[in-house]
Amino acid sequence: MRLAILDADILREALQPKYHSYGRMFEALFERQQPDWEMTIFKVIDGYYPPSMDQYDAFLMTGSQYDAFSDEPWVRRLREYAQTLFQAGRPMIGICFGHQLLAHALGGEAGRAGGGWGMGVMSYSLLATPSFVDDAAPVSLIVSHRDQVTRLPPEAERLLSNDFCPNAAFYISGRVLAIQGHPEFSVDYARALFEYRKDELPPKLAAEVRQSFSLPHQGERVGRWMRRFLEQALA
Q: Is 182 one of the catalytic residues?
A: yes
User: Of the listed 96, 104, 145, 217, which one is catalytic?
Assistant: 96
Catalytic residue among 99, 145, 184, 217: 184
Q: Choose, from 99, 104, 145, 182, the residue flagged as catalytic.
A: 182
Q: Could you write out the DSSP letters of every residue in 43-94?
A: EGGGT---S-GGG-SEEEE---SS-TTS--HHHHHHHHHHHHHHHTT--EEE
How far apart (Å, rounded) are the C-alpha atoms in residues 92 and 112?
24
Active site (annotated) includes residue 96: yes
The span from the CA of 212 to the CA of 208, in Å, is 6
Residues contacting residue 147 through CB under 8 Å, at least 6 positions apart: 67, 68, 69, 97, 100, 110, 111, 112, 113
Catalytic residues: 96, 182, 184
